[in-house]
Amino acid sequence: MARILVLNGPNLNALGRRPAGHYGTMSLEQINQEISKKAAEFNPEFNLEVEFFQSNTEGELVDRIQAGWGNIDGIIINPGALTHYGYSLKDALIDAAVPVIEVHLSNIHARERWRSRSVIADVAQGQIAGFGWRSYTAAIEILAGLIQDRGTGPG
């Protein structure tokens, strides 16, 4: 059994109403359903439990990460604009000491200059950006693989 925490930061609760050219038309709820469907593909041999949390407040994201200490095996996070300046979020991810995948719906490297800098990137195992909701389902597949590799070493 493995537990994965899927975190979304500020304004991602408004998906579906944000500019579709960058973020697509799906609501966060619909994206979470796609993530759950993908996670279910790994069951029953590899029981993947996914928890979802969104907040517009950095401190609440930090609290949720701390609450998962010791019982979370990996984190998928779209930090929203906190990507670019969220140092307490960054510290919480370091302290969690589990694999982290940073995801973005849009390609943050092909937009305004300030978006291309992520303060989270160097504490994440990797970043997936630019594939809309599929950035999240790609992340769950990769994270499940990484967790499965535990004990046998990276494949």
Is 104 a residue of the active site?
yes
- The single residue of 22, 85, 87, 104 carrying the catalytic annotation is 104
In angstroms, rounded to a whole number, what is the distance separating the alpha carbons of residues 5 and 98? 11
Binding to ligand DQA, residues 55-114 (CB under 6 A): 78, 80-81, 83, 104-106, 108
Q: Tell me the closest approach of the beta carbon of residue 45 to ligand DQA, in angstroms.
A: 32
Beta strands in the chain (DSSP E): 2-8, 48-54, 74-78, 100-104, 126-129
List b or e across 13-28, with b for residues whose CB sees 16 or more CB atoms inside 10 angstroms. bebeebeeeebbebeb
For ligand DQA, the closer CB: 42 or 131: 131
Is 23 a residue of the active site?
yes
Q: What's the alpha-carbon Rg for the chain, to the nearest Å?
A: 15
Q: Tell me the closest approach of the beta carbon of residue 151 to ligand DQA, in angstroms.
A: 32
Query: Which listed residue (32, 55, 115, 133) binds ligand DQA by CB under 6 A?
Result: 115
In angstroms, rounded to a whole number, what is the distance separating the alpha carbons of residues 55 and 113? 25
- The single residue of 22, 23, 85, 109 carrying the catalytic annotation is 23
| 3 C-beta neighbours (distance < 10 Å), count | 16
User: Is there binding between residue 137 and ligand DQA (CB under 6 A)?
Assistant: no
Positions annotated as catalytic residues are 23, 104
Enumerate binding residues for ligand DQA (CB under 6 A). 11, 78, 80-81, 83, 104-106, 108, 115
